[in-house]
Amino acid sequence: MMGKGEAPAPREPEEEEEDTGGVVKLISAEGFEFVVDKKAAMVSNTLRNMLTSPGGFSETRQGEVRFPEISTHVLEKICQYFYWSLHYSRLHPDSLATCLCSIASLACLCASLQFTTCMID
Amino acid sequence: QCIFRVKRNKTSYLIQCDPTETTLNIKQQLHSLIEQPPSNQRLILLSTNDVLDDSKTLANQKVENDAIVALTLRKGFRLC
């Protein structure tokens, strides 16, 4: 993705620092919770916007995002992809396509195709 | 560098670590997430059903990338 992982850090102090200790909670349609590193969640531009936009949205404040349309299996894969992307996309840019393929075939099986693909863009 | 999932009830914690870290390191990492001291935690590797030993490293106990580990807590203590 893009290399501005560290860029937002200096801007943080203006927002109230939540006590989630740098993790965010993603909640699937069935109510299963995935606690992931905020850095990993920020791989997704969609989540980055949800978690950093000013204006005191509950997602930003509590570090908790609900996905009523994403099933647990898909959300778990997405979380794994975040970490995978964080570590390997910089080292092996070529292999990114392979990973996206396996995620895409998974996504085809689920009804939430559109949202899923927009999460991993 | 490995990433594994610690699961309890409906919650999964994705934990990043180095295979040379000990189980105790992981429990301390979990401590910051769940407010339960390492002494109240027990981790079980699901693929073999082995209880992880505090003093051993993850590599020694075959906790690999993508492994799933179950978290149990001492009786009488619950997650807040």
Q: Is residue A12 part of a domain?
A: no
Question: Poorest-confidence range of A6-10, A96-100, B11-15, B30-34?
Answer: A6-10
- How much is the pLDDT for A118? 59
Kindly report the nearest CA distance between residue B55 and chain A, in angstroms: 25
Q: Is residue A4 part of a domain?
A: no
Residue B19 sits in a domain whose CATH number is: 3.10.20.90
How many folded domains does chain A comprise? 1
Give the residue ranges of DSSP H helices in chain B.
Answer: 23-34
Q: Is residue B78 part of a domain?
A: no
Q: Is residue B52 part of a domain?
A: yes
* Chains A, B: CB pairs < 8 Å: 35
> Quick check: B33 and A87 CB within 8 A?
no
Q: How confident is the model at residue B28 (pLDDT cuts 50, 70, 90)?
A: very high
Residue A120 burial by Cβ neighbours in a 10 Å radius (0-12, 13-18, 19+)? buried
Query: What residues contact residue A62 under an 8 Å CB cut-off, 6+ apart?
Result: A18, A20
Q: Average the pLDDT over B65-73 and give the result.
A: 92
Which residue of chain B is at minimal alpha-carbon distance from A77?
Answer: B66
Q: Is residue A114 part of a domain?
A: no
Q: Is residue B61 part of a domain?
A: yes
Residues 36-65 on A with a CB inside 8 Å of B are 36-37, 40
| Helix, strand, coil percentages for chain A (3-state, nearest 5) | 50, 10, 40
Per-chain mean pLDDT for chain B:
90
Q: Report the C-alpha gap between A67 and A65 in whole angstroms.
A: 7
Q: Is residue A46 part of a domain?
A: yes
Q: How confident is the model at residue B37 (pLDDT cuts 50, 70, 90)?
A: very high
* Bridge partners of residue A25, in order along the sequence: A35, A64
pLDDT along chain A (121 residues), means of 10: 45 43 89 93 86 76 88 90 79 60 56 55 55
Residue A48 sits in a domain whose CATH number is: 3.30.710.10
| pTM, 2 dp | 0.75
Q: Report the C-alpha gap between B28 and B38 in whole angstroms.
A: 6
Q: How many CB atoms lie within 10 A of CB A60?
A: 19
Q: Is residue B79 part of a domain?
A: no
Q: Which domain holds residue B51?
A: 2-73
Q: Across B28-76, where does the E strand assignment appear? A: 41-45, 50-51, 68-73
Q: Which domain holds residue A56?
A: 23-91
How many folded domains does chain B comprise? 1
Q: Is residue A48 part of a domain?
A: yes
CB of B67 within 8 A of CB of B47?
Answer: yes
**Distance from first CA to last CA of chain B, Å, rounded?**
30
Residue A24 structure tokens: 């965010």
Q: Is residue B80 part of a domain?
A: no
